Amino acid sequence: MNKTDLEFFLKQNIALDINNFLLSLVAATILCLLIQLFYLKYSSTLSNKFEFSKNFVILGITTTIVITIVKSSLALSLGLVGALSIVRFRAAIKEPEELVFLFLVIATGLGCGAGQIKITLIGILFSLAAIFVYSQFYKKNKLKHSEICNLAVIKNKSMKEKEIDELVKEMKKYVNQIELISFSKSEDNTTINFDIKTKDFSKLNRLVNQIQKKGIKLVVARNDLTTL
DSSP the chain: --HHHHHHHHH--PPPPHHHHHHHHHHHHHHHHHHHHHHHHH---SS-HHHHHTTHHHHHHHHHHHHHHHTT-HHHHHHHHHHHHT--------SHHHHHHHHHHHHHHHHHHTT-HHHHHHHHHHHHHHHHHHHHHHHHHTTSS--EEEEEEEESSPPPHHHHHHHHHHHHTT-SEEEEEEEEE-SS-EEEEEEEE-S-HHHHHHHHHHHHTTT-EEEEEETTEE--
On whether both 156 and 48 belong to a single domain, the answer is no
Task: Kindly tell me if the per-residue pLDDT of 20 is higher than 70.
Answer: yes
Of 103, 119, 141, which residue sits at a domain end? 141
Q: How confident is the model at residue 89 (pLDDT cuts 50, 70, 90)?
A: low
Task: Kindly tell me if the per-residue pLDDT of 187 is higher than 80.
Answer: no
Number of domains the chain is built from: 2
pTM given for the model = 0.56
CATH number of the domain encompassing residue 218: 3.30.70.260
Domain that holds residue 167: 148-226
On whether both 116 and 167 belong to a single domain, the answer is no
On whether both 112 and 57 belong to a single domain, the answer is yes
Of 111, 141, 171, which residue sits at a domain end? 141
pLDDT of res. 158: 81
